[in-house]
């Protein structure tokens, strides 16, 4: 399976985001990966006009906690979008399946229930090597891709 450069985007197709405020909720689990994703998102926001003071970061213990953290961020902050950042790496038990499914459904539910887009930036990889490749490594940075999605969804929110 081929993976494209997750950091690549055409800046001419991204709206200027200087008037937007974004939140990032970051799982502390697999923090090397999640911090790389968060930095990619922050860099992409700044590259597209968001000022640093308009980017709010909260950390939560794990990927499952991204749901509640994102919900509280939506409810308590004046934001145009939120990115939920996590990394779940497959192990020997079904825990991987339960966490991935729960987080996916939880973020989906927030998008239905709230009026602020919550972007799913949770890597669900088989190995640490795959996660590294997608958080600033050989395949780029999924955090960048999610920041661009957040900007575009913030514009859609205004309609």
Rounded to whole angstroms, the Cα distance separating 145 from 51 reads 18
pLDDT of residue 139 exceeding 80, the answer is yes
pLDDT at 93: 86
Reported as a single tens digit per residue, the pLDDT across 122-134 is 999 999 999 999 9
pLDDT of residue 11 exceeding 90, the answer is yes
Where do the domains of the chain lie, and which CATH numbers do they carry?
19-157 (3.40.50.960)
Report helix angle 142-157 to 31-47, nearest 10. 50
In sequence order, which ranges of 24-116 are alpha helices (DSSP H)? 31-47, 66-76, 95-113
How many whole angstroms from its chain centre is CA 125? 15
Q: What is the mean pLDDT of the chain?
A: 95
Q: Could you give the 3-state DSSP secondary structure of residue 65? A: coil
Rounded to whole angstroms, the Cα distance separating 22 from 39 reads 14
11, 18, 95, 108: the active-site residue: 95
Task: Give 3's pLDDT tier (boundaries 50, 70, 90).
Answer: low
pLDDT of residue 142 exceeding 70, the answer is yes
Q: Of the given ranges (44-53, 88-97, 134-143), which has the lowest mean pLDDT? A: 88-97
Q: Could you tell me the two tokens for 16?
A: 């200027």
Nearest by Cα to 151 from 6, 4, 19, 7? 19
To the query of whether residue 95 is one of the catalytic residues in this protein, the response is yes
Reported as a single tens digit per residue, the pLDDT across 77-106 is 999 999 999 999 998 889 899 999 999 999
Percent of the chain past pLDDT 90, that is, above it, reads: 91
Task: Give 45's pLDDT tier (boundaries 50, 70, 90).
Answer: very high
């Amino acid at each position: 399976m081929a993976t494209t450069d997750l950091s690549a985007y055409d800046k001419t197709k991204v709206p200027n985001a200087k008037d937007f405020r974004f939140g990032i909720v970051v799982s502390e689990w697999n923090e090397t990966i999640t911090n790389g994703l968060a930095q990619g998102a922050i860099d992409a926001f700044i590259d597209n006009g968001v000022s640093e003071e308009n980017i709010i970061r909260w950390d939560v213990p794990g990927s499952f906690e991204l749901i509640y953290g994102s919900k509280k961020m939506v409810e308590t902050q004046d934001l145009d979008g939120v990115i939920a950042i996590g990394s779940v790496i497959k192990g020997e038990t079904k825990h991987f399946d339960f966490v991935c499914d729960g987080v996916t459904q939880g973020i989906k539910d927030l998008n239905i229930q709230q009026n602020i887009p919550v972007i799913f930036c949770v890597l669900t990889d088989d190995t640490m090597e795959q996660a590294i490749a997608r958080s600033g490594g050989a395949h780029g940075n999924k955090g960048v891709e999610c920041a661009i999605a957040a900007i575009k969804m913030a514009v859609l929110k205004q309609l």
